[in-house]
Structure 1
Amino acid sequence: MKPLKAHMRHQWVKHLRDEIEKANLSEGKFTLRPPSRFELVEWVNEAWENIPRKTIIKGFTKCKIISTMPTSVEVPESTVEPAERFVDDGAAETNLVLETLLQYDESNLDVIAMREDEDEINLHCDE
């Protein structure tokens, strides 16, 4: 949470400075304009994008949302084809997160297929 809050605080201070600068350029009375919902969503989105993946996983592990992440995944040779013997750690982490969510009976969770060139987990939850 600390990196997320730090980024949000940085964005808030930047917003305040921008508002003060705009007020200094105008001749009217200073009125602080609050950030729009769109701006706030952008701040949160930027914060999440700037937090390293390992930091997010460590936070989820610390809060016991997911179990401890394995450093590597061993796959028995007899269960996979030779071309599939090497497992990407990112895919293993994704599978572990999804398995953990399923253990918590998240029935409204849809997993959208991830392309090999993507580095994000796309989840969709119906509310």
Structure 2
Amino acid sequence: MELMAIPAGYTFACQPANISWNKPLKDMLRKNWLRNSRSSVPFKLKAPTRHELIGWTKAAWKSLSITVVLTGFSKAQIIPKSSHSSQLNENDHRLLNIEPDWELLNTLLDKISVVRHVVDPSRDIDTSASNRLESSS
């Protein structure tokens, strides 16, 4: 694993979801949660079931258009802006296969002197021991 410090003003490039689709997604989830809480007995809130949460999440994600998702990636400069024109056909899934230019990204990051830290695998957290404890309980 290689850790890189992101320079001030560049975090947007790592967060296409925050730029474009997190708010509409969370708004839809909140709408469903409020609808569920109104149907509960007053002052006795009942947590939604896992099945309900999965349904809300699936519906919220399906409510987002491909254009909204692509807008986040283009605003983060991960894909070119021309990839999602106003003429975009919602069923045009080939746009989802656009691979970022990783070599260009590394070159740009090198130019702005990004500090890189490589994690020594021998010092990494070993989760296998905790997994064994959980499975034996």
Report the TM-score when normalising by structure 2. Answer: 0.45
TM-score (norm 1): 0.49
Which of the pair has the greater relative contact order for Cα pairs under 8 Å at 6+ separation?
2
Higher helix proportion (structure 1 or 2): 2
